[in-house]
Structure formats: C-alpha cells, structure tokens
Structure 1
Amino acid sequence: MGIKVEGIPSEMTAVQVVEFHKPCQINQVSTPKELGDYDLLIKTAVASLCHTDSMVIDGMFPTGLPRTGSHEGTGTVVQVGSKVENFKKGDRVMSGIPKNPCQSCANCKGPDDWHQYCENVEGMIGVFKADGAFADYHVADSRMSCHVPDDVSLIDAAPLACAGVTIYRAIIVSETKEGDWLGIVGAGGGLGHLGIQMAKAKGIKVIAIDARDEALELCKKAGAEHVFDARKGKEEVVREIQKLTGGPGVNASINVSEHETAAPLACAITKMHGNMIQISQPAMVNIPFQELIFRDIKIKGSLVAGQEQSQEMLSLVGEKGIKVEVNTFDGLKEVPKMFNLAHSGKMKGKAVCVVDKSQV
C-alpha cells in the first residue's frame, strides 16, 4: 500500500497530451494523491523538452491519454515513499525516467546499467503510464533518480535527465578511451553538443558532423576542434576524416541524427571492426551491407543510462564545467512556444521551462 500525499495543494497546472497529433493543452489537474513505496514526490523546478515528447504526441508509444509530458525534470523532494532510503525531503533531484521496474526480470537482476531495460516496467514518466514534469509537481522513482550536485544548476540538470544520460551511455558503449577518435553525427543538437564536451572531458578526440549552420556553430561553441559539414557529401566527408585520422577513420561513432543518410555516414567514417552506436530513433535504420560484412562495423543500440552511470555523469558535468546550451522559457504557459521553436529547425541546444523560479 502507498502512503497519502500531504501538505500540497489539491490541484496543479499541467501540460498534457489530450489527443494524438494535436497540440498540448494547459490544464488544471489533481495533484498526486498517493506515493508508491519507492516514489519521490518532487516540486518541479525545471522541465525540459525532448524529441521524445513529439513522438508521444505522434502516438508512437503505448501512451494512455491524457498524459502530462516531459521526462526531463528536476526539482526538490517534498515527500518520499515508505521504502525510500537514498533521498529525503529537501534534496535536489534529477528525475529518473523508468517508473517502478519489476525487480524480477533478467534486466532488473542484472548490472545497474541494465535496469532501465526492464521488460515489465510500470511506465516511463511523461511517455506512457506515468505523468511527467510539465507540472507543478511530479512523481519519479527513487531507484532511477539522481542527486543533483551543488555545482550543477537545476536548469542544466533537467536536460541531462534524458539527453545527458543517453549520450553519456553511448560514449561508454562506444568503448572509446583516452586518445581515441570518436565521431558524432548530428553533433550540433541537444545530445550532440553534450557528447562533444563529455567525450573531451574523458580525453577522447572528437570529430563533430552536422548539416545545419546553427548546428555547426553550436559544435564549435561546445569545443569541437574538428567540425565537418555533412552537406559536402559522404565521400568528401569520409575522405577528410580519414586524412585527419591518418587513414583508418574514427575508432567509433555515435549517430544522433534521424536523417536517412546519417547512419550510413556514421559507419563510413568508422574504421574497420569499429563500433557505431545508434541512439536516434527513425522508423528504420538502413545500413549498406558493405559496412556490416566487408568492413565488420558493429552496430549497437543504446538507451538511457542506469542510476549509477547517471550519477557519474552529473559528477562529471560539475567537475569539468560542462555547459548545457539552453533556451529558457518562463512558466508552463510557455510550453507550446517550446514545441514551436523545436520544430522550427532553428533551435540551438535544448528548450527548458522554468516551472518554479524560487528553486533556480
């Protein structure tokens, strides 16, 4: 049995998907009334917009409606479930996305880095079967959430809840180490500009590739020393990267772009027997057979990181001064404008909503 929520208003503002393929609505809804054993009730400080929010609107997940959006949230704990041991009231928190994993499947019983793959998870906040952070209060799972270090702002930490932990795990899965070359295709977006900084903080040599002027500018701002314009064409980009790396190409690559040419390009810039990590989510990922068979490029998918790696990522962000490029919006009423900016193709970095100014 859960415990009753106490000491907060009975209603709150929330931005909800009410109908697929339609804009979100700003509604007054009931605040959470009960917490599960491992739940955290969080007074939302900041909620960030992710590409996945648009996928929710497009009906690409088993999302029951209405559903409060945003799976990238930060805030302050106001109440904890009866079995929570690692958080207390007043803690600053970055919300975990999975909600109530089953604890019995192979992923839950495996290493921490498998837990986010639970086959029987109750839901994913802001995505399906669990409401997200586009609200005055939201609930997250203490076993998936992280403490925000003092040297990381709640504004910066919000986009890290998905974008940050996704690109960080991809770097780990790529198996690149200090001194290696890592190529990031789509490097000038919300995930990519974080990946540039995180990889450099680990001593990895980064090659950034994108195809928009705004994105190429952000790559450079994020510290990429080697930036290539994909609009030059695959052959030219591959030739230039092979020249830069002394012939073989990068040790591994990460594809953050959904464009149909992105995955083939990521493979082509990677040396034989290397890894290409696919984290963007187009309907189909099409790879020329030559890359798989004649060059032995290994394609690996990657989801968000587990709690341990996510906490490690937050520490790295604080210690190395990694900066999130944010477009800040004031209050939940501004969320529709966040979607408009994201769809314009002109956004640099991430769009974040400051829900509660007093916390930031």
Structure 2
Amino acid sequence: MSSTELPQTMKAQLLESPNALYTLASVPLPQPQDPHDILLRVTAASYCHTDAVVASGSVPGLPPVWPHINCHEFAGEVVMAGPAAAALGFASGVRLAVAGRGFHCCGVCDECAAGPDVERGDLHGDIPGVSAYCRASGTCGLTDPGGFAQYVVVDARQVNRIPEGLTDVEVAPLMCAGMTVFTALRKAAVRPGSVVGVVGAGGGLGHLAMQFAEKMGAKVVGVESADEPLRLAREVSPGATVVDARTTEAKEVGAEGQSRKGVDVVLVLPESQKAFDYAMSILRDRGTCMLVSFPAAGFHISALDIMLRHLNITSVLGGTFAATEEMLQFAAKHGVKAKFETFPLDKLNELVAKYNQGGGGKYVVDMAM
C-alpha cells in the first residue's frame, strides 16, 4: 500500500485521563519519522497487567501525555517501511510481532554498547548498538502510542517476524507475558530435571510459564488461590503438580525425590507479600527466587533466608530482542500458546472488565472481529 492509498485517520482507543474508561475515537494516522520506522497495521493487541498500571496513572512519567494509546504487546503487518527498515527486509505485508520496549534506542549508552554480558547472566543479549534495556529509548504503549489502534509506528530494530504455525492473535500475548517468563526461566538456568515453582500459575504470565517450564523438561509445581486460575493451570500443564494455596500450606509442598525438599527455582508473579512469602517457603536451600512482579510497596525479604538458607533473589523485566526471537521459535516448535478470549477493538472496556474479574489467562483485541 502506498502512502497515497493510506487513510488520513484511524480508529484508536484513547485513555483521556487516569482511571478513565477507554474512548474509541478517530485520530490522525501516525507518520513514520525515523529511517528505521515501520507503519504497522495492527492485527492483534493483547492486554497486560502493565496496561492497567499505566491506565491508573500510578507510575510517575507514564504516560508522558494524555490522551494515550495503550498496549505494548501486539502484532500486525507492514504497511510502509523507512529506508533502513526496508534494508532489513521488512517489505509491505510482512507479519511482525512487537514488544513495546526498545523504541528508538540511543545506540551509545552503556546498555546499547555492551552487547551480551555473560557475567551478568544475560546469555541472550543483542548486538552492540541496540538494546531492549536502553534507558533513553521509548516504549510503544507506555511512553509512545501502542497497539490499541488500527495503525502504529514501530522501530524495525524492536520487532520479530512471526513464525509459521502461530497466528497473529496467538503471538500477541507472547510479546510481553511469554517473553518475560521465558527469559526468567532461561536466566534461572532451568533444564531437564529442574523443579520449578510458579506462584500465580493460572494468570496471564503464569499459565505460559507452566508450559514453557514443562517443555524445557522441568518438573513443575503451580500455586494458585482462586478457582478459575487453578482450573486453567491444571488444563495447560496436566503433568504438573498444582496446589491450592488456600488449603495447602507451603511446608506441604515438596519436590518428590529430592534430597532437600523444595523447588530449585520459583517465579513470583502476583504483587502480593503473601505470595512472595509462600514462594520463599517452597524454595529449597540454595534455590533461586525469580521476581517478575513489582508492587509499589516492594517486598519484605528476610535477611535470615538470604544468610542461613543461601537463597538467591533476582529478577527480570522483559527480555532482549534475541531472547524474544528464541522464545517465539520455542513456542512455535513446542506448541506453547496462551489461553485467551478475544474482543473487537470497540469492546475494549468490556475486555478490561473481564480482566478485572481475575479469571486467569489472557485477553486479546482481534482487529478482524
């Protein structure tokens, strides 16, 4: 499609102010400005917990201006590509998956210049000059317009081609939720025979973490505290042990056959001190606690756990472009897919209401509806 065939306006869901409902509006079509820019026709846009946080206005500086177009995990097809993007092979019609981070990296900061850092545990780093962790870069859906619109401008250096075997609607939930838990499991060096605990196992991230860990050959212990998420966790990982934290105390959760009871790695997904305490209690001595959530009040951590039990506490925030590519290929090969419900763009507020009910899984805007 040439620029002369493009519409002058598009439909987008706007957040006019903190804690407001989304408003469907007609807005000017976004215009590529940088040689790496791609004008993407959005085909699927997934709702993430961070979208709810941004919509609340509780994060200083996010979004930088109102109104704002939310959504940082989405998919679409190329409509127009700048010269640098075209040189990378992003022709019209190419299907792309987009994670919000790394929009217009600076190319000169320590993160961009560093490349892979094995000593820091970054085994899947990006090439020097482009980093998903560039502090000067923007984030589609957070600092810049995101995917809850018919079109969006993305950076060719922040995208991934969609593998065969995955639809756009299936890919969208993987671009934050899937990428984050996959990176967490890789950073924790999960391998065949590892015992992995997932606290929050039936949520948007948790049910994907269960699948990824299982396909990596790990024994999986899922922890939940609500009926529907428990059902979902058992559905996606029938070979896992799934426990109800409301009726099963942490001391009862052990890894069968281990000389030291407990899991080797535990992912903490809920923003809850109670969930964190449960996670620490099921972790074996010298195990790794992987934080994937960041409550505003933080977590209280026992110094005795660190000193006497020799526990490791670390974290992830998203993942590199290279790790995202590995995640997509892994998901396509092993059939890792989110359980999701779809809504049309004009029903986004209904999607959010359903999300707030806490039923687990993911919720996706399907632009074909």
The TM-score normalised by the length of structure 2 is: 0.90
The two structures, once aligned, show a CA RMSD in angstroms of: 1.7
**1:226–1:244 Cα change, 3 Å:** farther
Residue 67 of structure 1 aligns with an amino acid whose one-letter code is: H
1:335-354 equivalences in 2 (<5 Å) = 335-345=348-358, 347-354=359-366
CA 1:267/1:91 → structure 2, altered by over 3 Å: closer, same or farther?
Answer: same
What SS does the aligned partner of 1:264 have? helix
Residue 91 of structure 2 is matched in structure 1 by 88
Deviations 1:233-285 (A, max 9, x none): 6xx22333256645331111111111221112212211212211101121112
Residue 153 of structure 1: aligned partner: 167
Q: 2:153 aligns with which of 139, 157, 166?
A: 139
1:9 aligns to 2:23 (yes or no): no
1:210 offset after TM fit, Å?
Answer: 0.8
Q: 2:139 aligns with which of 113, 118, 124?
A: 124
Distance 2:4 2:338 in 1: 35
Gaps in structure 2 of 5+ consecutive residues: 117-124
The answer to whether the aligner puts 1:168 opposite 2:187 as a matched pair is no
- Residue equivalent to 1:239: 252
Deviation sequence 1:151-177 (CA, Å, 0-9, x none): 011111001111110111011111221
* Contact 1:5 1:34 survives alignment (8 Å): no
Residues 277-304 of structure 1 show CA distances to partners (whole Å, capped at 9, x for unaligned) of 1011211122222222221211111011
Residue pair 1:42, 1:77 contacting (<8 A) in 2 also: yes
Which residue number in structure 2 is paired with residue 78 of structure 1? 79
The answer on whether the counterparts of 2:198 and 2:220 sit within 8 Å (CA) in structure 1 is yes
Matched, 1:189 2:180: no
- For residues 80-102 of structure 1, the C-alpha deviation after alignment (integer angstroms, 9 at most, x for no partner) is 12212142221111013121111
Aligned to 1:27: 25
Secondary structure (helix, strand or coil) at the match of 2:142 reads coil
Distance 2:250 2:110 in 1: 42
CA distance in 2, matches of 1:45, 1:336: 18
What secondary structure, in the 3-state scheme, does the structure 2 residue paired with 1:83 have? helix
- Asked if the contact 2:268/2:275 (under 8 Å) is kept, the reply is yes
Please list every run of 5 or more consecutive structure 1 residues that lacks an aligned counterpart in the other structure: none
Q: Secondary structure at the match of 1:107?
A: helix
Q: Is the 8 A contact 1:5 1:35 kept in 2?
A: no
The answer to whether structure 1 residue 271 and structure 2 residue 272 are counterparts is no
Contact kept in structure 1, 2:31 and 2:39, CA below 8 Å: no
Residue-by-residue CA offset, 1:203-256 (whole Å, 9 max, x unaligned): 1111111111111111111115201111136xx223332566453311111111
Distance 2:280 2:332 in 1: 32
Deviations 1:11-54 (CA, angstroms, capped at 9, x unpaired): 01101111012222111100112331212211010111111111
Structure 1 residues 214 and 245, CA, compared in 2 at 3 Å: closer, same or farther?
farther
Contact 2:160–2:325 (8 Å) recurs in 1: yes
Are positions 1:227 and 2:230 aligned together? no
Q: What stretches of structure 1 move > 6 A for 4+ residues in a row?
A: none
Pair 1:244–1:76, CA change in 2 (3 A): same
Q: State TM-score, norm by structure 1.
A: 0.92
Tell me the distance in 1 between the aligned counterparts of 2:259 and 2:5.
Answer: 63
Contact 1:95 1:141 in 2 (8 A): no
> 1:311-331, CA deviations, whole angstroms, 9 ceiling, x for partnerless residues?
1111111111112101111x2
Task: Check the 8 A contact 1:40/1:80 in 2, yes or no.
Answer: yes
Please state whether the residue corresponding to 2:212 is helix, strand or coil. helix
Pick the aligned partner of 2:16 from 15, 18, 21.
18
SS of 2:20's partner is coil
**Residue type of the partner of 1:275?**
T
1:108 is matched with 112
Distance 2:284 2:318 in 1: 26
Determine whether 1:97 maps to 2:97: no
Specify whether residues 247 and 21 from structure 1 end up closer, same or farther in structure 2 by C-alpha distance, changes over 3 A only. same
Residue correspondence of structure 1 range 285-324 to structure 2 within 5 A: 285-324=299-338
Amino acid at match of 2:106: C
Equivalent position SS for 1:241: coil
Once residues 192 and 5 of structure 1 are traced to their aligned partners in structure 2, the CA distance between those partners, rounded to angstroms, is 42
Match of 1:41 among 32, 39, 46: 39
Once the two structures are TM-superposed, the CA of residue 110 in structure 1 deviates from its matched residue by 2.1
Q: Percent identity, aligned pairs only?
A: 29
The aligned counterpart of 2:274 is 261
